[in-house]
């Protein structure tokens, strides 16, 4: 990112080489023993690709890697630390540190509070070193709105004073001020485009083309105005409604658990695969939905498994931490004799729902008519409106992810559910 602005955002379309840019940016100063760089992703698992890229470049310059601290140390003594900041409280990990360059990879995965707090760790007296923030991102994600607002002169088409790509503007706090104003810092935005990367494959382009319309506009066109709202991901007119349950080759019931009796509801979505030669291929056969105490939810899961039968796989979520592991193991014990898998949700809810949305948008998903159908379609259509419930959306997304991840080792059997559910469920 060839700019001297205090803050620079490099982003837009997917595939523009943003992660490589994040990795190589610190190399300009690693000959200075006082240089301290920080490269961040929201979650630890997301660092793997960045560290893999770093091995290509850092090792060639003689840097040593500490796999425990995820820190590269160069012959000069300069260091670059790769780490995460998953929760807002994690910003305290950086108290007392001083960095000259902080790089946020996929900025829209972070919260605004994380960004502001970690930027406060940028300092130093060596004028040969930068005191900069660099960030890469695509539109979309949890932080889409605050990032668009912070870099609104470049990203917001309705901005009263739009800036050109690479143009530097000056800000004190969040107000634009003339260059050279007291306590002002500079910002800029540099667009990333698919055409910037000559190594983009046709296969990758095909994957992007298969996304839902909103995500495709964000990642292919770098469109910051493309956003989700009612009907954008799961429009109620996209679903084929069937009066009876059709035969299915494979079945899975995925659960999303609410926190408390007075909080979010728990939902279990039964999804069937009719096979690649049938349209619509995917069918939502049944939805269990209840707001109840944990022991009542556990009883519902067990009763639902008995009604579904042993041909139906069961997916239960595994929350982070030991409590989540213990809960998922207890469900596996309760459901002994059934094919039970655990799934740790990763990524934001819209990203998780996107593959299923793409199939719905292609008119490749049906739903069986039942007493639960209207409420299910209402929730799906409203997602991801602020404040709306999303337990059935999450369960549907997980069911689709699990069902499409199953690798068949033998010809799939055609299964017809043997039982009917009560209207009260």
Does a structural domain hold residue 228?
Answer: no
Of 172, 194, 221, the one marking the end of a domain is: 221
Q: Which of 176, 191, 221 is the last residue of a domain?
A: 221
Model pLDDT for residues 118-175, shown as the tens digit of each residue: 999 999 889 999 999 999 998 877 788 899 999 999 998 888 899 999 999 999 988 9
Question: Residue 5: is its pLDDT beyond 70?
Answer: yes
What's the average model confidence in pLDDT over 258-286? Answer: 88
Residue 230 lies in a domain: no
Q: Is residue 422 in some structural domain?
A: no
| 31-35 long-range contacts, CB within 8 A, separation 24+ | 31/74, 31/76, 31/78, 32/76, 32/78, 32/126, 32/128, 32/129, 33/76, 33/77, 33/78, 34/77, 34/78, 34/100, 34/124, 34/126, 34/129, 35/76, 35/78, 35/79, 35/100, 35/101, 35/129
Angle between helices 294-308 and 321-334 (to 10 degrees): 40
Q: Are 110 and 85 in contact (CB under 8 A)?
A: yes
Same domain, 247 and 124: no
Same domain, 211 and 240: no
Read off the CATH number of the domain in which 339 is found: 3.30.420.240
Q: What mean pLDDT do residues 44-53 have?
A: 86
Q: What is the pLDDT of residue 409?
A: 43
State whether residue 362 is helix, strand or coil.
coil
Query: Model confidence at 416, in pLDDT bands (50, 70, 90)?
Result: very low
Phi, psi values for residue 244, rounded to 5° = -140, 155
| Complete edge-to-edge strand list for the sheet that includes strand 175-177 | 64-66, 71-73, 79-84, 36-41, 101-105, 132-137, 7-12, 185-192, 169-172, 175-177
C-alpha torsion sign, points 149, 155, 159, 165: positive
Whole-number average pLDDT of the chain: 86
What is the domain extent for residue 17?
A: 7-221
Q: What's the pLDDT score for residue 219?
A: 74
Determine, yes or no, domain membership for 57: yes
| Same-domain pairing of 26 and 162 | yes
209 and 322 inside one domain: no
Average pLDDT of the residues in 231-256: 91
Do 193 and 264 fall within a single domain?
no
Task: Say whether both 97 and 154 belong to one domain.
Answer: yes
Q: Return the pLDDT at 270.
A: 98
In a domain, 413, yes or no: no
- Give the tens place of pLDDT for each residue, 190-219: 988 766 666 666 776 777 777 766 777 777
Mean pLDDT computed over 356-377? 93
Distance CA 405, CA 252 (A): 11
**Based on the structure, what is the number of domains in the chain?**
2
In a domain, 1, yes or no: no
Give counts: helices (H), strands (E), the chain: 12, 17
Helical spans, DSSP H, in 156-261: 202-209, 213-221
Based on the fold, state whether residues 213 and 252 are members of the same structural domain. Answer: no
Is 306 within the bounds of a domain?
A: yes
Indicate if 271 and 201 belong to the same structural domain. no
pLDDT of 259 > 70? The answer is no
Question: pLDDT (tens digit, 9 = 90+) per residue, 316-333?
Answer: 988 766 666 777 788 888
Statement to judge: residues 243 and 199 lie in one domain: no
**Of 172, 198, 221, which residue sits at a domain end?**
221
In a domain, 47, yes or no: yes
Residues 171 and 22 in one domain: yes
Asked whether residue 54 falls in the same domain as residue 148, the answer is: yes
CATH of the domain at 66: 3.40.50.300
pLDDT of 346 strictly over 80 = no
Per-residue pLDDT band for 78 (boundaries 50, 70, 90) equals very high
Query: Is 126 in the same domain as 243?
Result: no
| Distance linking the first and last C-alpha atoms of the chain | 56
């Amino acid at each position: 990112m060839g700019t001297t602005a205090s803050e620079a955002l490099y982003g837009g379309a997917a595939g523009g080489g943003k992660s490589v840019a994040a990795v190589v940016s610190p190399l300009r100063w690693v000959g200075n023993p006082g240089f301290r760089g920080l490269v961040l992703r929201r979650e630890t698992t997301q660092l793997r690709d960045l560290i893999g890229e770093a091995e290509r470049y850092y090792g060639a310059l003689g840097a040593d890697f500490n796999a425990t601290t995820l820190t590269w140390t160069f012959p000069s003594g300069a260091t670059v630390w790769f780490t995460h900041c998953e929760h807002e409280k994690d910003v305290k990990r950086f108290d007392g540190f001083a960095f000259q360059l902080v790089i946020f990879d996929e900025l829209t995965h972070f919260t605004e509070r994380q960004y502001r707090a970690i930027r406060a760790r940028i300092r130093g007296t060596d004028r040969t070193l930068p005191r900069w923030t660099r960030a890469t991102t695509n539109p979309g994600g949890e932080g889409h709105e605050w990032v668009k607002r912070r870099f609104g002169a470049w990203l917001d088409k309705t901005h009263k004073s739009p800036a050109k790509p690479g143009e530097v503007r000056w800000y004190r706090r969040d107000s634009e001020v003339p260059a050279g104003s007291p306590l002002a810092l500079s910002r800029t935005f540099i667009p990333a485009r698919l055409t910037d990367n000559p190594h983009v494959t046709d296969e990758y382009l095909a994957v992007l083309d298969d996304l839902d319309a909103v995500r495709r506009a964000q990642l292919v066109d770098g469109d910051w105005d493309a956003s989700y709202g009612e009907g954008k991901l799961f429009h109620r007119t996209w679903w084929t409604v069937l009066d009876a349950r059709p035969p299915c080759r494979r079945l899975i019931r995925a659960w999303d658990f609410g926190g408390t009796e007075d909080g979010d509801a728990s939902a279990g979505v039964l999804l069937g695969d009719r096979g690649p030669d049938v349209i619509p291929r995917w069918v939502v056969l049944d939805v269990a939905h209840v707001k109840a105490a944990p022991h009542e939810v556990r009883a519902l899961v067990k009763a639902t498994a008995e009604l579904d039968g042993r041909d139906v796989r069961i997916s239960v979520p595994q929350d982070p931490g030991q409590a989540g592991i213990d809960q998922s193991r207890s469900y596996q014990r309760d459901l002994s004799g059934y094919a039970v898998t655990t799934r740790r949700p990763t990524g934001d809810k819209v990203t998780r729902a996107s593959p299923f949305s793409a199939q719905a948008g292609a008119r490749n998903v049906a739903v069986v008519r039942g007493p639960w159908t209207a409420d299910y379609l209402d929730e799906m259509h409203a997602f991801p409106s602020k404040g709306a419930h999303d337990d059935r959306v999450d369960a549907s997304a997980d069911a689709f992810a699990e069902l499409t991840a199953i690798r068949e080792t033998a010809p799939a059997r055609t299964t017809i559910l043997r039982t009917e559910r009560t209207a009260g469920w």
